[in-house]
Amino acid sequence: MCVCHVVLMCTAPRPDLCPAPRVVRMRVGLIGYGGAGRGIHARLVRAAGQQVTHVVTRSRGEQVRGDWPDAVVVPDVEALLAHADQLDLVVVASPTGDHVEHALAALASGVHVLVDKPLATTTADAERVAAAGDGRLTVFQNRRWDPEQLALAGLLRDGSLGTVHRFERRWERYRPQPQDRWKENDVEAGGLLLDLGAHLVDSAVQLFGPATSVYAELRALTTPAFDDVFLALTHASGVISHLQAGGLVGAPGPRTRVLGSGGAYLVTSYEGEPTPFAAFDDAYAETRRPGEPEHEGWLVQGSDPRPVPAPSGGHGDIYPAVAAWVRGDGPVPVDPADAVATARVLDLARLSSERGQVVTAG
């Protein structure tokens, strides 16, 4: 179904006289045009040089027409999929509770499908969607392309940290007045466990392997859904991950801290979220000499911090990877089986929090 690239017929007497293939932008249909659809996916689609051609929305048509004047606005998924022959990719950016229904419908139409994380609210539903994928399903675990993740993976490969025994990552904010939207109010499909927790778990498992046990503390402090999340994962590799997400954190901790026999990797702040640890980076910015690299965290041995050069790229790189996959020029960016594994950990986290004990991954 994909017409992401079109090779023009050439009748020149010699192949070297033929023009290069004409590349046509990937045609993207968006399901949802709210915080995820417009604020994240549409922005990254544009940055990747692709085109949003169809959008499902009932109330944001004017925004769509302002952003994408040639896009077709439709009221529901059924109307979108009536145009399936004009689409190369459908992006499911609807509320999490609708992911299963919308992903299954899009897959049944024959198009490639990218589902925002989490793939589903439960392991059983994630397995159902993954089983229907047929090689045309991927999941928006875009934080695999974050510079901090890439920098840490490089340190692990070159052995700079020695033998790692603990991985800590925090996604903390101070929002004493929470937003009034489905993510905060839907106790089944909203909350930070499913939202940011899906990223945190995926990052930990990608770095240190599958989890063999899970311990969790989950609370709802200011919203009906969980807004205070702590997970402890024991990995098959022996590493223990401490993962935290919170909306009522007046002093957000360091974003990432990895402890090993050869030192520690420290990322003090993240995407402009206020934190007292930002002073660490500010001091370096003031003293960095011309020609010294931008940094992505620190390699620390006691009182000796050394800047870690920032790798190129960013989380938006998932869309070029998706475009290559849809064209048949690259692998699936995120294997749906990985999203099923993440869903399983999140299910175990709920169970652990209810029981107040460590639960073993079966």
Residue type for position 325: W
User: Would residue 30 count as lying in a domain?
Assistant: yes
206 and 159 inside one domain: yes
Are residues 261 and 254 in contact, defined by beta-carbon separation less than 8 angstroms? no
Residue found under tokens 């590493």? 239
Give the mean pLDDT of the chain. Answer: 90
The mean-pLDDT minimum among 76-90, 104-118, 135-149, 259-273 falls in 259-273
Q: What is the pLDDT of residues 161-177, one digit of tens each?
A: 999 999 999 999 999 99
Strands (E), the chain: 5-6, 22-23, 27-31, 51-56, 72-74, 89-92, 112-116, 137-140, 164-172, 211-219, 228-235, 240-246, 256-260, 263-267, 295-301, 304-309, 359-360
**Can you give the residue range of the structural domain that contains 28?**
5-140+316-334
Cα three-residue angle 139-141-143, rounded to 5 degrees: 165
C-beta separation of 55 from 68 below 8 A: yes
Answer yes or no: do 158 and 298 share one domain: yes
Residue 102: what residue type? H
CATH code where residue 225 lies: 3.30.360.10
Is residue 329 located within the same domain as residue 286? no
Same domain flag for 59 and 85: yes
Residue 351, in any domain of the structure: no
Res 251: pLDDT: 87
167 and 240 assigned to the same domain: yes
Same domain for 134 and 76 = yes
Does residue 344 form part of some domain? no
Instruction: Enumerate the β-bridge partners of residue 138.
Output: 114
Q: Indicate whether 362 belongs to any domain.
A: no
Question: 12 pLDDT exceeds 70?
Answer: no
* Tally of domains in the chain: 2
> What percent of the chain has pLDDT above 90?
81
Q: What is the CA 141 to chain-centroid distance, rounded? A: 3
Q: Do 163 and 303 share a domain, yes or no?
A: yes
